[in-house]
Structure 1
């Protein structure tokens, strides 16, 4: 079995898949700041749209190389070569669209692509792969209950099924007696912050407050989420690169659950105006609550969250006031 990096080591070279995305771009910035040489892989063109915006600082950094490739089809050998750690953040997101005709995209992006990447990591003896998973693998929990990593995983959406499948696939590789690549799968709980996808709740709520178009709320506002600020998620992800582990699943969540109604009050206080809303029925795959048990993250990663929802929303709002377009579409999700 190949040794992992010491816990206090800074990876000399890292591959980040999904680097043009929300979390991937923040992780890339943090790695470059720490002195790591980063290969960023994404299927998006780096000079257009969200990729160009998210990677604005990284693209000009001398220690950053962008590889435009599709994990499902393209050769991965060069991108993986020499990596001390691979951060696998690429995937097809979104609970509600996974019920429809787009499911083959979820299957190929979240499962088959992961298999191809894990196979290449094993072939090249990459010491560690850190997998971005999701709290969606847990499914429905009782109000007030905390999700523990050893609890049964019962996803209630096709998206959650594919994330659980990706987890189990990577762990199967890592548990093999001759495994060269160890795996830490991180179950992220409702990540938010600057560069968040525009279809997610906090981004939508802030836009509704700023621009006045009503936010469509699915359900009665009682759905609860464990919101986790992106800086906290990045610090946990960095810690997972060097933690003592062979095949682990770890929650990354703030450990506090906030209802949609409560969140809209926080957004309104930050923006200085109430969030206009309209209501519709709950959607298939939406769970009533998520709440992380963060103890394992503390034990293995030495991690705890530092940014509460009030602070995080204020930071997100300040960024949005600088970067948001003048007239965004604000109708949309409110229970993601």
Structure 2
């Protein structure tokens, strides 16, 4: 996989202070790019945002823009950028049943504003971070040409974001090429504290209870963050006007098996509390990666055991206070409980 090749290329990353975004920023700087990071999270007041970007804030080729995509002058932000990587979004399946206005504003309205700015600025390429949540309830490998039927408000907004991207790319007067990547549950160092593997590992390392939703046979395709970043950069080089591509880890694993791996890589038990599955939860996710192989030359490199070992090692290096940030929250059985998504 190649993607961006020329050192000095100016790029923008929205959601730069987040889990995947911060890894992407580091990788782009490592390739010699000039990176503009955009996020509404405050580096002054939000501990995890500072943790994520702490190693790059003083980098001479990194510039920081703090603000909401629904308010910023995006024409100025993307001016001169060859590539825009749009990762900013409000995540979470279960939590999307409340506060839907923010999901619409951040995942749909902000995306359209960014696309309009890219079109007006003459930006050649936008890579959009979508989600496997657009597929909904499936019982086989999900392929990009399958009918998307999301079963949560979050999935609906990610599908809407995709469609807006494709609409802009297919305009008769468009010079903007768009590639939408459907990420299948991404994990690794800096994973959001509300996501499954972070919470399972935190439970093993702190002794707190992990709340498992369902009977543990639910399956997810987990994708290591380094593989996702490599695919995301490669997507910048896709030479088609509009494309949608799955990015997965190569296998679908039951939650019981994930918990077993957490015990192995930490050497500690995972205290469990079981509750019923919640609205928006799906039984399984699994990616057909044929399109990713064809257009990106993509092949996931990191198996789940290796990835979880690295993830656990990173968490062991956190201060007790920060590790407690990742400890599972008190059990919630209503729709506000967070989930593993994107």
Distance 1:149 1:190 in 2: 16
Partner of residue 298, structure 1:
293
Shift in alpha-carbon separation, 1:11–1:183, aligned structure 2, 3 A: farther
Cα drift, residue 265 of structure 1: 0.4
**Runs (5+) with no aligned partner, structure 1:** none
Aligned length: 329
TM-score, scaled relative to structure 2: 0.93
Equivalent of 2:136 in 134, 139, 143: 139
Partner of residue 24, structure 1:
21
Residues 224 and 288 of structure 1 are in contact (CA less than 8 Å); yes or no, is this contact kept in structure 2? yes
Cα drift, residue 295 of structure 1: 1.1
Shift in alpha-carbon separation, 1:229–1:111, aligned structure 2, 3 A: same
Deviates more, 1:69-78 or 1:90-99: 69-78
Partner of residue 278, structure 2:
283
Partner of residue 68, structure 1:
66
Distance 2:151 2:67 in 1: 31
Secondary structure of the residue aligned to 1:323 is: coil
Matches within 5 A, 1:120-139: 120-139=117-136
Distance 2:119 2:75 in 1: 11
Distance 2:54 2:338 in 1: 29
Cα drift, residue 125 of structure 1: 1.1
Partner of residue 314, structure 1:
309
Deviates more, 1:40-49 or 1:89-98: 40-49
Equivalent of 1:42 in 31, 39, 42: 39
Residues 11 and 84 of structure 1 are in contact (CA less than 8 Å); yes or no, is this contact kept in structure 2? no
Distance 1:116 1:156 in 2: 26
> Are 1:78 and 2:55 counterparts?
no
**CA deviation string 1:189-232 (max 9, x = no partner):** 00000111101000000011011111000110011000000000
Cα drift, residue 46 of structure 1: 2.0
**CA deviation string 1:18-73 (max 9, x = no partner):** 00000000000000011000000111122331111100111010000000121012
Partner of residue 218, structure 1:
213
**Runs (5+) with no aligned partner, structure 2:** 332-336
TM-score, scaled relative to structure 1: 0.95
Distance 1:208 1:189 in 2: 23
Shift in alpha-carbon separation, 1:8–1:65, aligned structure 2, 3 A: closer
Residues 85 and 241 of structure 1 are in contact (CA less than 8 Å); yes or no, is this contact kept in structure 2? yes
Shift in alpha-carbon separation, 1:170–1:266, aligned structure 2, 3 A: same
**CA deviation string 1:127-164 (max 9, x = no partner):** 1000000000000111xx10000000000000000000
Distance 1:6 1:21 in 2: 22
Residues 227 and 257 of structure 1 are in contact (CA less than 8 Å); yes or no, is this contact kept in structure 2? yes
Partner of residue 244, structure 1:
239
Residues 186 and 222 of structure 2 are in contact (CA less than 8 Å); yes or no, is this contact kept in structure 1? yes
Cα drift, residue 303 of structure 1: 1.1
Distance 1:47 1:7 in 2: 31
Structure 1 residue ranges, 4+ long, deviating more than 6 angstroms after superposition:
none
Secondary structure of the residue aligned to 1:185 is: strand
Partner of residue 88, structure 2:
90
Distance 1:275 1:47 in 2: 34
Distance 1:44 1:190 in 2: 22
Shift in alpha-carbon separation, 1:16–1:108, aligned structure 2, 3 A: same
Residues 93 and 338 of structure 2 are in contact (CA less than 8 Å); yes or no, is this contact kept in structure 1? no
Cα drift, residue 9 of structure 1: 4.6
**CA deviation string 1:114-133 (max 9, x = no partner):** 00000000111101000000
